[in-house]
Each structure stands twice: as structure tokens, then as C-alpha cells.
Structure 1
Amino acid sequence: MMRQNLFSPRKLVRKFTPAMRPLPAVPYGAVQMPVKTGETLGRIGSLEVRMARNFKEVKKAQRLRYEVFYEEMSAVADAQTLATRRDADPFDAYCDHLLVVDHASLKRNKLGRLKPEIVGTYRVLRQDVADRHGGFYTSAEYDIQSLIDANPGKRFMELGRSCVLKPYRNKKTIELLWHGLWSYILRHKIDVMLGCASIEGTNPDAMADQLGFLHHNSLAPEEWRVRAIENRFVDMNRRPAADINQKEALRALPPLIKGYLRLGAFVGEGAVIDHQFGTTDVLIVMPVSELNTRYVNYYGADASRYAS
């Protein structure tokens, strides 16, 4: 029996992604220098967002990722990952690592020194760096090179490995992470963000409403559309829009994906099952020119809201 939808999909998307207006030119000239290793990008109380200072801090971020992805969620660890208790791959060596650290929670390192705890992280990879090291991580799941080739004058950046320690999953920590990202985007004059976001589980039929909601309401327009590579393509259009309870499907989406939608993100065509991490991935594409002005204004066109 067809379910009656009392909520318009378009209205729901507008609720979570308020109507966009033309974005004013970002004043790149207001911030001249690129982000430096270890530079503080913002602060709220005891929480600070900054770039990792050294490989020791990257290893701590990898341990945080292990705790979230492997211990809390359902990622399957290989022998190396189990032995080190770190979520690590070759991309970590040349990506930049955005960190949220809590100066009120101090942990002793191996030398007995007290250091602020790392409670959140984002891994970012700029196109110029990716080009020197074999490309983006996302290219193993989506044909993003076609989009890059179609936009030769634009700077792309990949987002990935986002996670926050469970006690810190609150508005303050998430806002600080996004403030750090926005600062980074301005400093490096990024034009387009992309990356995979995950829905927990590997059975696409069990998440048909969520995938269908994204397909019917957030599919990227042709000029920004990217398709999952053929041997991993999973159809997201698993149910007619009229059969989906739009409100419930939206509520069931992971907070990170809903956050991207609020910012004005699109999704790619087709999902990809990641058996190692126990997830079904969707591609997120966010042109900076399409970002919702509400959020740009909130953090400041010069990323000044939480500047320290």
C-alpha cells in the first residue's frame, strides 16, 4: 500500500538546507598566508581547533579514529590495525589533519608529560597535494577525475576520516571543527569540497528510504554529478519518491550527512558498499559558491567567529 506523504520533499530539504542566495565573493585577500602546521584556527573555552603539529599527533588522531570506527562502530580490523590500534593508511602521510583538542583534559604521553587530549579530527587533502601522490582516496569509489577535468580552473579538496570522541559529540565541538575547515578553505582558496560520507550497514535494501531520499532530493545537477565506479555501483533509487516517508527518511540519515545537506551539499549518483568499515558510502560534493550564506555568515566570511 502506498504511504501517504504529508511532508513535501522539497519543503523538507529547504528546512534542512535553507533557501540559498548568491554567495558574495569570498574575501580571500583578507587572509594572505596558507594554514601552517600546528596553527590555531579557533577556540571555544577549553577546546581548540588547529592543524596537527607532528606525526605523534597524527598517530593520536589515528587512535581516536580506531576507537570510533573499530571499537564503537563495525569496521573490520586487519592484523596490522589490531596490533597498532590505529586507523592508518598511506594517505595519512601527506594529508593535513585538523584536530580539536581539549586543554581541560590532559593525558600523559610516554615521556610522562601532560598533553591536551585530541577529541575530534578531520583529514583533508588538497588537489595539488593529491596530484603529487597518486590522486584522491575517493577515486577508489567514484569517478571524480571526470569532475576535476571538467573544472580545470577550480581547486578541489577532499574531506575524510571525520570523527569525534563520543562525550564530545555536541554543538560546540562540531562548530569548532567546521570553523577550522572554513578557515582552511579560505586560506588555501578552495573552490570545491568532496568526499565520501557513510551510512552504517552494508545492506542497501535496509536503508532504501535513506538512499532514496538522497537520490530524489539531493542528487547533484549534471554539471556537478559524479557516478560511482561501475564495479561498485549500488543504485540509490530503490523506491519511488511517493513511497518514501520523507520526514522519517531524513531523520534516519547520519548527523554528518544532514549537516552537509544544511550547508548546501549535493550527492553523487550511486552508493558504494565499504565492507571493511561496515558502511554504505555516498559521495558528497560541495562547491564553495553554493554554500548556504546563512552558514558562511555565521562563521564569518573571514572565519572570525571563533578566531583566537
Structure 2
Amino acid sequence: MAIELLNRTLTSETKQAPAADPANSRVGSDVFGRIGTLETRLARNLREIDAAQAVRYRVFVEEMGATIEPEAMRLRRDIDSYDAICDHLLVVDNAIDGEIEDQIVGTYRLLRQSVAEANGGFYSTSEFDIAPLLARHPDKQFMELGRSCVLPEYRTKRTVELLWQGNWAYALKHGVNAMFGCASFPGVRPEEHALALSFLHHNALVKDEWMVHALPDLNRNMDLMPAEAINPRQALSAMPPLVKGYLRLGAMIGMGAVVDQAFNTTDVLIVLPIASISGRYINYFGADAGRFAN
């Protein structure tokens, strides 16, 4: 099934977090769906956000070799200023004995346009020129997706489906019209991904009113091979599962890639208007996000 988009997406093990302070609660109970013992919901307090940051640390730093601030390294947490303004989508396995830190098996970070504009903008603006896209769609609400992680033993269809159930339900709840966010290829040499990047350039590039460019001083050319030299099957096979999955949903790719030296990745921008999501997926998850709802 094409829903296998995050099947082996970046992830790790959780660590023990500080005890929760009830005064630090950010959101109430907000369960978007369940499959068996797994449920997807928003993080309810700073303790759960801390646990998600510990998962991200093991993925991005220990697994992928990212370089982060010394204090974050000491704390063994992937932390940045956006964590304080984002909602954090979780997949929790209630069958695991122990505290919530032991039960979080997947996470996504969600940032709505209204929140971003009140707090300095979107994370992706450090790499891509998002402003013209937003200006062309003043009647639409955008949401940024980022920091996706799933524990290795949970890189299965069920976990993937719940993450997208959560994204879809959250988007509907907040009247989101389009999603976007950075997706990464491993390493800082785009030429090592010439086949996949060239396929994206020739077959999935954003068009017209959805066009987005990499920042000029960071832009790396994705057109590394002529279209006639590309074997589509091989190109798709060479793509990270997350990127391939976004394409199956109906996403487009921004113009130009960006090398992120700190995170040891080559990034592309995913643009996914709600209206472009394949009907088979809307039918699967439910037009009201009811597929896995309680």
C-alpha cells in the first residue's frame, strides 16, 4: 500500500525526562485515532515534549550525525526555539509498561501559519523563500510539518497510518489548506542523489501559484541528469521513504535543494495543498478524519 511513506523514517529510543509540572500543560486530551494499543494525539505537557526531543536526539544526532548546540548535547535533546510554539504530534503505545517517556514511539512537529506569524515565522524560511508562496494565497491557511521520528521497531504501516491520521485530523480541525516542510536526503553531497533529485526536478516540481525557491545563496541545482537518462523505478527506489510517501499523497517539490551542514542532510521542500491530496487517501483516512477515530 502506498501509505508506507514513513515506514523507515528517522527515529530512535526514548530517554527519561524530568517530572511533569501540571502548570506546564499546553493542551488537553486530544486523541486523533487509535489502532490496537497505539494512539495518536498531541503532547499534553512539557514532559511529553521533552520525551519527544529525546527521541529526536537519538535520531538526528546519534543516528544521522547532526551537530547541535553544546547545551542540547549535554541534555541529550534535540531542541530549538520552535519547540515552544509548535504542537507536537505523538504516537503512543499504551501496551508498554512504564512512564510516558517509555511509551512515545513516534512524533511530528506541527506549526500553523497564525502561530508562526505571531512568533517570527516558519522554520523552513531559513532555507527556502516561503514569503511569496504565502503572499499568493492570502485566503489559505498553511501548516509546516517537521521533525518526523519513529522508533525502529515501530516503523510499520500502523504507525505511519496513525501519524498521517493525526496530521490529517489536525489540519481539518484548524482549517488548514496546505502543508509544507523540509524533507531530507542523507549527506551533504547532492550529486550523490543525482538520480532521485533529477527525477523530482523533472516530474514533481511545483508550478505556477505554488512555486517556491531555495534561498539564492543556499540553492543547489537538482537538475543533475537529463530527463531521458532517468529510470523512474530506480529513482523512486533511491528516494527516502518520507519523500516517496509525500509524492504518493500528491505533494510537489520546491525548486532547488539546500545542504544543511549541521544536520548532515540535503533538504528539499515539500508542498502539499489539501486539494491535491489523492482521493484514495482521503477516502482511506476519511473526509472527516474518522478512519481511526475513537
Change (3 A) 1:260 1:122: same
Deviation at 1:216, TM superposition (A): 0.5
Instruction: Report Cα offsets for 1:222-279 as digits up to 9, x if no partner.
Output: 2111000001000100110111222111111011111100100000000000111110
Amino acid of the residue matched to residue 187 of structure 1? K
The equivalent residue for 1:123 is: 109
User: d(CA) in 1 for partners of 2:134 and 2:110?
Assistant: 17
Distance 1:241 1:115 in 2: 47
TM-score (norm 1): 0.85
Q: Do 2:27 and 2:43's aligned partners in 1 also have CA atoms closer than 8 Å? A: no
Describe the SS at the equivalent of 2:41: strand
| Of 50, 55, 66, the match for 2:46 | 55
Question: 1:76 and 1:36 mapped to 2: Cα distance?
Answer: 31
Tell me by how many angstroms 1:104 deviates: 1.1
Q: Which residue of structure 2 lines up, in the alignment, with residue 83 of structure 1?
A: 74
Pairwise CA distance, 1:221: 1.1
CA contact (8 A) 2:178 2:273 kept: yes
**SS class of match (1:101):** strand
- Secondary structure of the residue aligned to 2:97 is strand
1:268 equivalent in structure 2? 254
- Structure 2 residue 97 is the aligned partner of structure 1 residue 97: no
Size of the aligned set, in residue pairs, is: 272
Q: 1:132 to 1:245 in 2, by over 3 A?
A: same
1:155 and 2:141 equivalent? Answer: yes
1:301 and 2:283 aligned: no
Matched AA of 1:173 = T
Which of the numbers 206, 221, 225 marks the counterpart of 2:207? 221
Deviations 1:75-122 (A, max 9, x none): 1233112101000100000100000011111234xxxxx765101000
Residue 242 of structure 2 aligns with an amino acid whose one-letter code is: L
Cα distance in 2 for residues equivalent to 1:74 and 1:210: 22
* Residues 46, 116 of structure 1: alpha-carbon distance in 2 compared, 3 angstrom cutoff: farther
Could you say which structure has the larger radius of gyration?
1
2:238 aligned partner: 252
Q: CA RMSD in A?
A: 1.7
- Ranges in structure 2 where 5+ consecutive residues have no aligned partner: 4-25
Cα distance in 2 for residues equivalent to 1:274 and 1:106: 38
Q: Note the alpha carbon deviations across 1:190-238, whole angstroms, 9 max, x for none.
A: 0010100001111011111111010001001121110000010001001
4+ residue runs over 4 A deviation: none
What is the rounded CA distance, in whole Å, between the counterparts of 1:64 and 1:130 in structure 2?
A: 24
1:32-43 pair list within 5 angstroms: 37-43=28-34
